[in-house]
Structure 1
Amino acid sequence: MSTPRAAVVVTGTEVLGGWVTDVNGPWLAQRLGALGVQHVSTTVVGDRPEDLRAALENARDRGLELVITSGGLGPTEDDLTTQIVAEFTGRPVALDEAVEGRIWAIVEPMSRRWKGISQEAVRAANRKQALVPDGAAILEPVGTAPGLVVPPTDDDPDRPPTPTVVVLPGPPPELQPMWRTAESHPGLLAAVRGATTLHESTLRLFGLPESELANTMRDARRAGVAVDAFEITTCMRGGELEVVSRWAPEQDADGRAFEAFVVERHGDIVFSPDGRTIDELVLDGLRGRGWTVATAESCTGGLLAGRLTKLPGSSDVVEGGIVSYSNAVKEQALGVDPALIAAHGAVSPEVAAAMAAGARERLGVDVAISTTGIAGPGGGSEEKPVGTVHVAVAGPDGGLSRHLRLPGDRDRVRELTTTAALHLLRRVIAGEHDAP
Structure 2
Amino acid sequence: MITAEIIVVGSELLLGGRADTNSIFLAEMLAEQGIEARFKTVVGDDIEDICGVLAQASKRAKVVLVTGGLGPTVDDVTREAMSKLTETSLRLRPRALRSIQARFKVVGRTVTANQRRQAYLPSGADLLRNTTGTAPGFSLKWRKCRIFCLPGVSHEARAMFLDSVLPILVKEHLFGQGIESRSLQTFGLIEGVVDERIQGVVPEASGVQVGILASPLGVSVSLTRLPNANRFNAKIGNENRENFNVPLEEYLMNLSTKLQPFVFGLDGQPMEEIIGQALSKRGLTLAMAESCTGGLIGHRLTQVPGSSSYMDRGVVCYSNQAKMDLLGVTKNILQKHGAVSAPVAKAMAEGIRSRSGVDLGLSVTGIAGPGGGTPIKPVGLVYVALSIQGKTFTKEFRFQGDRNMVKLRASQGALDVLRRWLFGISIADDD
SS at 2:23's partner residue?
A: helix
Which amino acid is the alignment partner of residue 376 of structure 2?
E
Shift of 1:148: 1.3
Instruction: State yes or no: 1:186 paired with 2:154.
Output: no
The 5 A counterparts of 1:275-286 are: 275-286=268-279
- 1:126 — aligned with what? 115
Shift of 1:31: 2.2
Bigger shift: 305-314 or 325-334? 305-314
Bigger shift: 292-301 or 251-260? 251-260
Which amino acid is the alignment partner of residue 353 of structure 1?
K
1:107 to 104, 107, 122: 104
- 2:55 — aligned with what? 57
The verdict on how the C-alpha distance between 1:25 and 1:249 changes in structure 2, with shifts beyond 3 A counting, is closer
1:144 to 120, 128, 134: 134
Report if the CA contact (8 A) 1:398-1:433 is conserved: no
The whole-number CA distance in structure 2 between the counterparts of 1:16 and 1:344 is: 46
The 5 A counterparts of 1:224-235 are: 225=203, 228-235=206-213
2:67 to 43, 67, 70: 70
Bigger shift: 412-421 or 423-432? 423-432
Deviations 1:254-291 (A, max 9, x none): 42331122123333332224542211111111101111
The whole-number CA distance in structure 1 between the counterparts of 2:390 and 2:174 is: 56
The verdict on how the C-alpha distance between 1:252 and 1:279 changes in structure 2, with shifts beyond 3 A counting, is farther
SS at 2:201's partner residue?
A: helix
Instruction: State yes or no: 1:244 paired with 2:233.
Output: no
- 1:88 — aligned with what? 85
Deviations 1:85-121 (A, max 9, x none): 1321233332221221122111123244xxxxxx3xx
The whole-number CA distance in structure 1 between the counterparts of 2:369 and 2:156 is: 38
Report if the CA contact (8 A) 1:289-1:429 is conserved: no
The verdict on how the C-alpha distance between 1:413 and 1:135 changes in structure 2, with shifts beyond 3 A counting, is same
Q: How many residues align?
A: 412
Shift of 1:377: 1.8
The 5 A counterparts of 1:169-208 are: 169-186=151-168, 190=172, 192-193=174-175, 195-208=176-189
Bigger shift: 133-142 or 97-106? 133-142
The whole-number CA distance in structure 2 between the counterparts of 1:432 and 1:278 is: 15
Report if the CA contact (8 A) 2:272-2:415 is conserved: yes
Instruction: State yes or no: 1:270 paired with 2:248.
Output: no
Shift of 1:52: 0.9
- 1:218 — aligned with what? 199
The verdict on how the C-alpha distance between 1:125 and 1:434 changes in structure 2, with shifts beyond 3 A counting, is closer
Please report the TM-score for the alignment, with normalisation by the length of structure 2. 0.88
The whole-number CA distance in structure 2 between the counterparts of 1:99 and 1:107 is: 13
- 2:370 — aligned with what? 377
The verdict on how the C-alpha distance between 1:13 and 1:405 changes in structure 2, with shifts beyond 3 A counting, is same
The verdict on how the C-alpha distance between 1:268 and 1:433 changes in structure 2, with shifts beyond 3 A counting, is closer
The 5 A counterparts of 1:6-17 are: 6-17=4-15
Report if the CA contact (8 A) 1:399-1:432 is conserved: no
The 5 A counterparts of 1:326-341 are: 326-341=319-334
Please report the TM-score for the alignment, with normalisation by the length of structure 1. 0.87
Bigger shift: 74-83 or 178-187? 178-187
SS at 1:268's partner residue?
A: coil
Report if the CA contact (8 A) 1:298-1:323 is conserved: yes
Shift of 1:226: 5.5
Say what the alpha-carbon RMSD is for the aligned residues.
Answer: 2.4
Structure 2 unaligned residues grouped into runs of 5+:
229-243
The whole-number CA distance in structure 2 between the counterparts of 1:351 and 1:309 is: 25
The whole-number CA distance in structure 2 between the counterparts of 1:216 and 1:233 is: 14
Report if the CA contact (8 A) 1:135-1:150 is conserved: yes
Shift of 1:188: 7.0
Shift of 1:53: 1.1
SS at 1:135's partner residue?
A: coil
Report if the CA contact (8 A) 1:66-1:191 is conserved: no
The verdict on how the C-alpha distance between 1:45 and 1:252 changes in structure 2, with shifts beyond 3 A counting, is same
The whole-number CA distance in structure 1 between the counterparts of 2:180 and 2:37 is: 16
The whole-number CA distance in structure 2 between the counterparts of 1:189 and 1:252 is: 31
Report if the CA contact (8 A) 1:149-1:188 is conserved: no
Deviations 1:197-235 (A, max 9, x none): 1232221122333223333443225xxx45651232221
Which amino acid is the alignment partner of residue 40 of structure 1?
R
The whole-number CA distance in structure 2 between the counterparts of 1:227 and 1:372 is: 48
- 2:361 — aligned with what? 368
Which amino acid is the alignment partner of residue 152 of structure 2?
G
**Percent identity of the aligned residues?**
34
Report if the CA contact (8 A) 1:34-1:200 is conserved: no
Structure 1 unaligned residues grouped into runs of 5+:
113-118, 154-160
- 1:28 — aligned with what? 26
- 2:303 — aligned with what? 310
Instruction: State yes or no: 1:344 paired with 2:344.
Output: no
The verdict on how the C-alpha distance between 1:277 and 1:258 changes in structure 2, with shifts beyond 3 A counting, is same
Report if the CA contact (8 A) 1:368-1:395 is conserved: yes
